[in-house]
Amino acid sequence: MRKLTLLTAFLVIGPVHAEVSFDRLVNAGKDKDSWLTYSGTYNSERFSPLAEINTSNASDLKTIWAYQMQPSTYTGAGLVETTPLVADGTMYITEPPSTVTALDARTGKRLWTWSPEMPEEVLNIGFPKVNRGVALLGDAVYVGTLDAHLVSLDAATGALRWDVEVADNAAGFSLTLAPLALEGKIIVGVSGAEAGVRGFVDAYDSATGERLWRFNTIPAPGEPGSETWQGEAWQTGGGSTWLTGSYDPDLDLLYWTVGNPAPDWNGDVRPGDNLYSCSLIALDPNSGELRWYFQFTPHDTHDWDANQIPVLVDAEFDGKNRKIVALANRNAFFYLLDRETGEFLHGNEYSKQTWASGLDEAGRPILLPGMDPTYEGNLVWPSLQGATNWFSPSYNPQTEQFFVATRLMGSVYYKADVEYEEGMPFLGGGEQALSGDDAAGAIRALDVLTGKQQWEFMLHSPPWAGVMATAGGLVFGGSNEGNVFALDASSGEALWDFQTGGAVRTNPMSFAVDGKQRVVLTGGSTMYVFGLE
């Protein structure tokens, strides 16, 4: 338990009423007015079924209200990357690095706010001081903190219910993701691979904070997958799990993505495929038992982790109805897998890459020679930030279109010698990314079943913001230059844009209040809520 916790609660318009049952989360796609979990639904489509804002009126969008993130008392507070949740007229957001705030969804008026008191020496090796959001379950709000705690708050008042330490921050562990709420459980993963941690996925009892199970993403000797490591390299193997997963309630399977092996860039000290790094793992949510895995980038030496959102798709594939998981990977390939078995169904390049000639029949990359980092430096596409990154793709089930914010950038990769020291960077090299005219970005629309590009909307620089499709035929996104925009989903034509004045680093979301649709994006430290009136 944390020794000191600072609680501040501002009740300004009366009590907040929130009750989000597991059944409500399962049926979140039918709850059009709300946004109940990080990616909108357990399928992680980041798709809004609202259609009041559409291709015929998007140009009339205006700012309804805006919220300025509050200056943190914590030194070095980081970037804003939160996805707001909305339930029963209340919006729940996080402010960097680990503050939770409840707002009136109609006006943006602050109802309460809570911040943990953290030591100034909190470690965040290899990632910014961010928090990507909360989870809702029952009448509670759940948040992970930069110093690796998981916290439960009363949704009505912000009062602390419980606070558990997930891992030792002094060793490099942190929580920067939005938790995922299941029935009676809160699921979290950890950041910290660049400190040489051994990653894991945890489940906690939602009522008490008791840890129910842990799945270690780097297997110990004798465990399945341990043959892909040699010597003691598994103990500092990385495999952090810092992005929210997806869930299939019918199969009762949890899907979570795993980050890079450690150290980055120098694979000599960790021979083998290095499971389960750079993989999608399917877990039994009741026991944490591994059902199947698929590794996208075996023995990764470019920091192309698999921490991207797995999107669950039900569609006809090769003449058969299939339960599919689609993922646009950081390594520049788009994948379709059978989500019951993990079988590789399809893969294709969706962005420029120079490290593989393609994928074999099992989905394993066919490596080109001489593409590993060198002491002198080696130019490879994509950059270590990848063809995409943590920010969310979107899937429109009505049109079977998959939308992804794409980074068009290469890097000169360098290799270096490395020694492990707890709590210090565990990096086997580095990179010098191309910039200026040698780098760009795009929003790309893909046919979800073939991966074939349908259109692209070019951006001046590689993006750090995700996308959201809507039933109104739109795709919302944002750019580093501060523009938020709405595109025609059928053509990619820009229909509306707004200059926020700050770089956009969030994923769009949408909700409705009093029957009026709202769209939310953040520029800099200001969150904007847009609507027609």
Task: Using alpha carbons only, give the angle 245, 313, 38 rounded to the nearest 5 degrees.
Answer: 30
CA dist 62 to 59, 470, 483, 496, Å? 9, 18, 14, 10
Alpha-carbon distance of 271 to 229, in angstroms, equals 6
Where do we find the tokens 């692209």?
456
Confidence label for 9 from pLDDT (cuts 50, 70 and 90): very low
Confidence label for 12 from pLDDT (cuts 50, 70 and 90): very low
- Catalytic annotation present for 303: yes
Q: Supply φ then ψ for residue 344, to 5 degrees.
A: -70, 125
- pLDDT of 15 reads 53
Report the length, in residues, of the chain: 533
Is the model's pLDDT at 419 over the cut of 70? yes
- pLDDT of 76 reads 58
- pLDDT of 120 reads 81
Is the model's pLDDT at 117 over the cut of 60? yes
Residues 6+ apart with CB under 8 A from 401: 395, 445, 446, 447, 448, 454, 469, 489
Q: What is the pTM of this model?
A: 0.96
Confidence label for 8 from pLDDT (cuts 50, 70 and 90): very low
Strand order in the sheet with 401-408: 394-396, 401-408, 440-447, 453-459
- pLDDT of 119 reads 86
Residues 6+ apart with CB under 8 A from 279: 217, 257, 258, 293, 294, 295, 296, 306
Q: Quick one: tokens of 270?
A: 């960790």
120-169 confidence digits (pLDDT tens): 889 899 899 999 999 999 999 999 999 999 999 999 999 999 999 999 99
Confidence label for 72 from pLDDT (cuts 50, 70 and 90): low
Alpha-carbon distance of 339 to 334, in angstroms, equals 15
> Which listed residue (31, 303, 305, 372) is catalytic?
303
Alpha-carbon distance of 129 to 147, in angstroms, equals 10
Is the model's pLDDT at 1 over the cut of 80? no
Structural domains in the chain, sorted by start: 7-426+438-531 (2.140.10.10)
Confidence label for 423 from pLDDT (cuts 50, 70 and 90): confident
Where do we find the tokens 């962005």?
351
CB–CB of 165/229 below 8 Å?
A: no
Q: Dump the DSSP string for 27-59.
A: TGGG-TT-B-STTSSTT---EE---SS-TTTGG
Q: Dump the DSSP string for 310-359.
A: PEEEEEEETTEEEEEEEEE-TTSEEEEEETTT--EEEEEE-S---SEEEE
- pLDDT of 13 reads 45
Is the model's pLDDT at 238 over the cut of 60? yes
Which is nearest to 276 in space by CA: 181, 199, 194, 355? 199
CB–CB of 162/149 below 8 Å?
A: no
- pLDDT of 4 reads 37
Where do we find the tokens 């003691």?
232
Is the model's pLDDT at 271 over the cut of 60? yes
Share of the chain above pLDDT 70, in %: 95
434-483 confidence digits (pLDDT tens): 999 999 999 999 999 999 999 999 999 999 999 999 999 999 999 999 99
Confidence label for 10 from pLDDT (cuts 50, 70 and 90): very low
Q: Quick one: tokens of 176?
A: 């920067």
- pLDDT of 99 reads 95
- pLDDT of 5 reads 38
Is the model's pLDDT at 510 over the cut of 90? yes
Is the model's pLDDT at 346 over the cut of 50? yes
Name the average pLDDT for the chain.
Answer: 95
